[in-house]
């Protein structure tokens, strides 16, 4: 009886939002592949920390902000240890030790320890009545304390401090906000927007003390007063420290994991220690530490793919945006919103309605924006900042002055635009979910798509979109992804994902799992599935091979002889001459793609032809790499171009591609290039163009022949592994994005993995073909 393979052990230290999102992402990709363990320092299961301020404001109940129901962990067979802290990591033996003297082994370890609130180190900071506002315990304790006392002081005029202050006002308390800077939210707002915000919050009952430096907190039995450096003070019953957070990195430091301000990670969320990863607010990536939901969820997605062994996803950083969650306040900020010698800005003010916009530009690219009074168009601004789109003067003014009601704004919004930034949910995805599942409320949309489930800042936008969908104005046709073919109801992407996730390693297994309508399949799905299986397992490549000859209309056959590099040696020409003498009815011509084409071969003579020219009896005749060199009458040295052709032929001559791909290599610019991949030597280096016709675009200029021969195979292999069947490399490049593809092939770790996969495939195919050739002899 076969022994069941042990599942890989993944252990999370921390059950905050980033850690738990990565657990969910892993389960979505590989629900049955791992043994999962979560160690949480808090005594409660995971919850949405961002909604604590909403709970304090009375908008939601504390019980409603848990991330998962209690049964979710047992349903997924997750080992959950709450109220327990990891004290030591043994990276050699791969195990962790907790403060409960529990030893837990791991194969891969994820540190998601989050951050802790910064407590001002002033006398009295540990006095009774002084709180931080970070955990569910903090929230519940503040809710209890507020029923006994009436005066609260919040130290910190940032996002969380203001949201907490609004919560105390909701509970009927008088609230003072102390801020060291001269204006509120100075990192996200300019003085004008900060002034408008202050006026609105003062109207709601807050009192502000700006430019104040706290020196001590005093009282007899508990807090009674907050004192400042200018000798002024505030009498108070409760003090809430909201002066920022610090990453929890002590465990990493103690165990030799490299840190700076946070735990240092690369683009795949790997730390300096093998098989130990980090995610969330404890992480420092490219000298930045993120505290917003969107980048933490992006990190979690990348981490999950890395843990599941899926290549391609990298975390390159993100564009930060802020939206204040206080009723009656519409405020949004994105990107860099500070003036400098390199930036300029334009602004709009409607004093009657307290509407304010300011857009910051570097050249013609939007680098930041502030919206107050109306946040319509905020998702568009995030997209422009993130992609550094160049804008004309007219487009800049349209961004600044375009106003309208929410219905027209929603109607004009492109379907690809994100409604929920935190969870990357687009307008199109919500419309599809509403139409497919019959969703009618924001809560239903939240449950189905995760939109508005994190910070809640897009809740109004989701509500407006629902109203629009249910109105007579709605007439949008949302394109649906078609099924692979008529044999199945599943899309190509769903089938490929299922093949990897469920290890479906044969066409029969795929047909059975997806309940194929026609068990024989059709011509298209047979080719597609065989191709995908060949990417998954090189052993399937022989199924692409056909008899190494093409039957002609006269009943005889044609065979192609590779004429590598556009040249051949004397022995090769001698064999051709002898063959033509031996078979006078045979004919020879040279194809566009550097091959000699022998025609007029009788079927019984094919084995002799294969033997004479040392050819395998099977060949890849469809969807392969076709190589040509444009050699003109010029004095340019052709050797480098011929070397590139030879190298690419050596890699891909017998390896199937998603679509027939024509590679044209030219040593100079004296002739026009044609093909799906075009390489030409110019005065600045080797220009790489991808795509034909309208798809054609300059991909990169590589300075040396060596760089071309090293990176071009990685590019083609990445295309092999991520393109759809019959998708050309030009279409693939447009879909993936040129910047993304370029970043991937220049990533050393990613490149090494691609070359390992390619080399394994090439070695297997060559071995298979050598066996086939020996049988002929």
Q: What separation in angstroms does the CA of 332 have from each of 78, 322, 355, 458, 674?
A: 38, 6, 12, 11, 49
CA 420 – CA 457 distance, rounded (Å): 8
Taking CA atoms, 427 is separated from 158, 254, 447, 461, 737, in Å, by 30, 46, 16, 10, 21
In the chain, the largest separation of any two C-alpha atoms, in whole Å, equals: 114
Q: Which secondary structure element, helix H or strand E, spans residue 245, and what is its range?
A: strand 245-247
Separation between Cα atoms, residue 456 and residue 445, nearest integer Å: 12
What 3-state DSSP class applies to 170?
helix
Question: What's the pLDDT score for residue 74?
Answer: 93
Q: What are phi and psi of 720, to 5 degrees?
A: -55, -45
Instruction: Judge contact between 302 and 310, C-beta under 8 A.
Output: no
**Helix-strand-coil split of the chain, %, nearest 5:** 35, 25, 40
How do residues 386-442 score in pLDDT, each as one tens digit?
Answer: 888 888 888 888 887 755 545 567 777 777 778 888 888 888 888 888 887 888 898
Q: Is 716 helix (H, G, I), strand (E, B) or coil?
A: helix
Residue 565: pLDDT band (50, 70, 90) is very low
List the beta strands (DSSP E) in 256-303: 263-264, 276-278, 283-284
- In this predicted structure, the answer to whether residue 586 has a pLDDT above a threshold of 80 is no
Separation in Å, CA 729 to CA 452, 546, 623: 37, 24, 12
Distance (Å, rounded) from C-alpha 312 to C-alpha 750?
8
In the three-class reduction of DSSP (H, G, I as helix; E, B as strand; rest coil), residue 109 is classed as strand
User: Predicted confidence band at 247 (pLDDT cuts at 50, 70, 90)?
Assistant: very high
**Which has the minimum average pLDDT: 139-143, 317-321, 586-590, 739-743?**
586-590
Please check whether residue 229 is in contact with residue 213, taking contact to mean a CB–CB distance below 8 angstroms: yes
Higher pLDDT, 489 or 587: 489
Is the Cα dihedral 219, 225, 228, 231 positive or negative?
Answer: negative
What CA–CA distance (Å, rounded) separates 108 from 102?
18
Greatest mean pLDDT among 118-122, 377-381, 701-705, 748-752 = 118-122
Q: Which helix (H) or strand (E) holds 53?
A: helix 52-56
* DSSP H stretches of helix in 453-501: 459-469, 492-501
> What percent of the chain stands above pLDDT 70?
92
- Sorting pLDDT into bands at 50, 70 and 90, what band is 567? very low
pLDDT tens figures, 251-310: 999 999 999 999 999 999 999 999 999 999 999 999 999 988 889 999 999 999 999 887
282, two tokens: 């404890």
Q: Whole-structure pTM over 0.85, yes or no?
A: no
DSSP string computed for 679-698: EEEETTEEEEEE-SGGG-EE
CA distance 453 to 542: 48
Distance set, CA 51 to CA 25, 142, 400, 462 (Å): 21, 15, 31, 17
- Give the mean pLDDT of 692-716: 85
Helices 459-469 and 442-449, interaxial angle, to 10°? Answer: 110
Question: What's the CA gap between 775 and 777, in Å, rounded?
Answer: 6
Q: Based on the number of CB atoms within 10 Å of its own CB, is 513 exposed (0-12), middle (13-18) or buried (19 or more)? A: middle
Contact between 586 and 598 (Cβ < 8 Å): yes
Cα-Cα-Cα-Cα dihedral of 484, 488, 493, 497, to 10°? -140
How deeply is 607 buried, as exposed, middle or buried, from its count of CB atoms within 10 A (0-12, 13-18, 19+)?
exposed
Instruction: Classify residue 155 by burial, with Cβ atoms within 10 Å: 0-12, 13-18, 19+.
Output: buried
**Backbone φ and ψ of 449, nearest 5°:** -115, -10
CB-side neighbour CA atoms (13 Å) of 628: 19
Query: Does 154 score more than 60 pLDDT?
Result: yes
| Residue 121 burial (C-beta neighbours within 10 Å; 0-12, 13-18, 19+) | exposed
Model pLDDT, residue 776: 39
Instruction: Give me the helix-helix angle, 459-469 and 427-437, nearest 10°.
Output: 50
What the block records as the tokens of 289 is 């530490």
Region of 697 on the Ramachandran plot (φ > 0 left; ψ -120 to 50 alpha; else beta): beta
The DSSP output letter for 120 is: P
φ and ψ at residue 624, rounded to 5 degrees: -130, 175
Q: Which two tokens stand for residue 654?
A: 């017998």
Evaluate whether 415 touches 426 at the Cβ level (below 8 Å).
yes
Rounded distance between C-alpha atoms, residue 39 and residue 704, angstroms: 51
- Residue 629, pLDDT score: 65
User: What is the average per-residue pLDDT within 739-758?
Assistant: 82
**Predicted pLDDT at 673:** 67
DSSP code at position 575: H
Q: What is the predicted pLDDT for the residue at 255?
A: 95
Q: What is the pLDDT of residues 545-556, one digit of tens each?
A: 777 777 888 888
Contact 181, 212 (CB under 8 A): no
Domain boundaries, the chain: 8-116+247-307, 130-243, 404-416+426-478, 550-766
- Cα separation, 14 vs 2, in Å, equals 36
| Cα 73 from Cα 45, distance rounded (Å) | 9
Residue with tokens 């996200």: 188
Distance from C-alpha of 615 to C-alpha of 619, rounded to nearest angstrom: 9
pLDDT digits (tens, 9 = 90+) for 348-365: 998 888 899 999 999 999
Integer CA distances (angstroms), 274 to 257, 271, 278, in order = 10, 7, 12
Question: What would the two tokens of residue 539 be?
Answer: 């052993």
Could you tell me which residues are beta bridge partners of residue 235? 225
Q: Residue 558 in contact with residue 550, Cβ under 8 Å?
A: yes
Q: Give the chain's radius of gyration (CA, Å).
A: 32
Q: Concatenated DSSP letters for 360-390?
A: EEETTEEEEEEEES--TTHHHHHHHHHHT-B
Do 130-243 and 550-766 agree at the fold level? no
Superfamily of domain 130-243 in CATH is FAD/NAD(P)-binding domain (3.50.50.60)
Residues 6+ apart with CB under 8 A from 214: 120, 122, 155, 178, 226, 227, 228, 229
User: Residue 326 burial (CB < 10 Å; 0-12/13-18/19+)?
Assistant: buried
Q: How far is 565 from 640, CA to CA, in rounded Å?
A: 10
Residues in the chain: 777
pLDDT score of 95 more than 80: yes
pLDDT at site 564? 43
- According to the model, what pLDDT value does residue 2 have? 45
The pLDDT value recorded for residue 408 is 64
Does the pLDDT value for residue 322 go beyond 80?
Answer: yes
The stretch 686-694 carries a mean pLDDT of 84
Residue position matching structure tokens 């002889």: 561
Q: Residue 449, Cβ neighbours under 10 Å: how many?
A: 22
| Superfamily, domain 550-766 | Sulfite Reductase Hemoprotein, domain 1 (3.30.413.10)
Which runs of E-coded beta strand occur in 484-637?
Answer: 546-547, 550-551, 557-562, 587-590, 595-601, 618-619, 625-629
More confident residue, 667 or 152: 152
What is the architecture of the domain spanning 8-116+247-307? 3-Layer(bba) Sandwich (3.50)
């Amino acid at each position: 009886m076969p022994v069941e393979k042990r599942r890989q052990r993944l252990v999370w230290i921390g059950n905050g939002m980033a850690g738990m999102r990565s657990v969910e992402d892993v389960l979505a990709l590989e629900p049955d592949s791992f043994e999962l363990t979560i160690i949480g320092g808090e005594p409660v299961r995971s919850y949405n920390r961002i909604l604590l301020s909403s709970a304090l404001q009375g908008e939601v109940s504390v019980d409603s902000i848990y991330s998962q129901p209690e049964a979710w962990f047992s349903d997924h067979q997750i080992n959950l240890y709450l109220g327990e802290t990891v004290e030591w990591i043994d990276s050699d033996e791969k195990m962790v030790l907790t403060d409960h003297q529990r030893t837990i082994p791991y194969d891969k370890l994820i540190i998601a320890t989050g951050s802790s609130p910064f407590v001002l180190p002033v006398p009295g900071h540990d006095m009774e009545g002084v709180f931080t506002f970070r955990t569910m315990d903090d929230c519940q304790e503040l809710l209890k304390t507020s029923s006994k006392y009436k005066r609260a002081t919040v130290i910190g005029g940032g996002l969380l401090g203001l949201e907490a202050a609004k919560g105390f006002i909701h509970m009927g308390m008088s609230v003072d906000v102390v801020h060291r800077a001269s204006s509120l939210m100075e990192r996200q707002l300019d003085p004008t927007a900060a002034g408008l915000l202050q006026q609105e919050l003062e109207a709601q009952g807050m009192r502000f003390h700006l430019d104040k430096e706290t020196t001590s907190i005093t009282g007899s039995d508990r807090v009674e007063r907050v004192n400042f450096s200018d000798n002024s003070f505030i009498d108070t019953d409760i003090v809430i420290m909201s002066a920022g957070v610090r990453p929890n990195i002590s465990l990493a430091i103690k165990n030799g994991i490299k840190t700076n301000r946070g735990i240092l990670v690369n683009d795949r969320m790997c730390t300096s220690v093998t098989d130990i990863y980090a995610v969330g607010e404890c992480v420092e990536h490219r000298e930045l530490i993120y505290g917003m939901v969107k980048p933490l969820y992006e990190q979690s997605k990348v981490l999950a793919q890395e843990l599941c062994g899926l290549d391609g996803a990298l975390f390159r950083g993100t564009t930060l945006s802020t939206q204040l969650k206080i009723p009656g306040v519409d405020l949004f900020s994105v990107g860099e919103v500070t003036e400098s010698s390199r930036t300029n800005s334009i602004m709009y003010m409607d004093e009657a309605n307290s509407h304010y916009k300011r857009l910051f530009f570097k050249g013609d690219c939007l680098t930041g924006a502030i919206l107050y009074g109306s946040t319509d168009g905020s998702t568009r601004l995030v997209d422009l900042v993130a992609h550094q789109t160049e804008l004309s003067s007219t487009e800049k003014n349209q961004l600044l002055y375009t106003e309208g009601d929410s219905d027209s704004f929603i109607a004009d919004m492109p379907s690809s635009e994100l409604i929920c930034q935190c969870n990357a949910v687009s307008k199109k995805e919500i419309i599809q979910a509403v139409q497919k599942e019959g969703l009618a409320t924001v809560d239903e949309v939240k449950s189905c798509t995760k939109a508005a489930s994190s910070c809640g800042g897009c809740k109004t936008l989701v509500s407006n979109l629902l109203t629009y969908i249910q109105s007579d104005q709605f007439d949008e046709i949302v394109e649906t992804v078609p099924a692979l073919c008529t044999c199945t109801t599943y899309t190509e992407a769903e089938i490929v994902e299922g093949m990897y996730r469920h290890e479906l390693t044969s066409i029969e297994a795929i047909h059975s799992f997806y309940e194929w309508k026609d068990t024989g399949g059709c011509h298209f799905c047979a080719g597609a599935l065989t191709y995908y299986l060949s990417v998954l397992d090189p052993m399937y490549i022989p199924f692409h091979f056909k008899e190494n000859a093409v039957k002609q209309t006269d009943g005889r056959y044609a065979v192609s002889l590779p004429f590598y590099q556009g040249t051949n040696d004397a022995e090769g020409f001698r064999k051709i001459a002898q063959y033509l003498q031996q078979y006078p009815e045979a004919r020879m011509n040279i194809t566009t793609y550097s091959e000699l084409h022998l025609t007029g071969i009788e079927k019984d003579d094919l084995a002799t032809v294969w033997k004479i020219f040392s050819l395998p009896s099977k060949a890849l005749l469809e969807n392969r790499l076709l190589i040509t060199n444009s050699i003109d009458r010029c004095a340019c040295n052709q050797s480098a171009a011929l070397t590139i052709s030879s190298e690419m032929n050596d890699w891909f001559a017998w390896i199937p591609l998603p679509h027939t791909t024509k590679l044209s290599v030219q040593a100079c610019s004296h002739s026009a290039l044609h093909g799906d991949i075009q390489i030409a030597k110019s005065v600045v280096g080797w220009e790489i163009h991808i795509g034909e016709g309208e798809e054609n675009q300059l991909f990169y200029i590589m300075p040396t022949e060596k760089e071309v021969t090293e990176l071009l195979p990685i590019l083609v292999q990445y295309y092999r592994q991520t393109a759809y069947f019959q998708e050309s490399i030009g279409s693939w490049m447009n879909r993936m994005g040129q910047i993304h593809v370029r970043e991937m092939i220049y990533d050393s770790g990613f490149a090494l993995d691609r070359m390992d996969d390619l080399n394994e495939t090439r070695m297997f195919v060559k071995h298979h073909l050598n066996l086939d050739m020996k049988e002929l002899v």
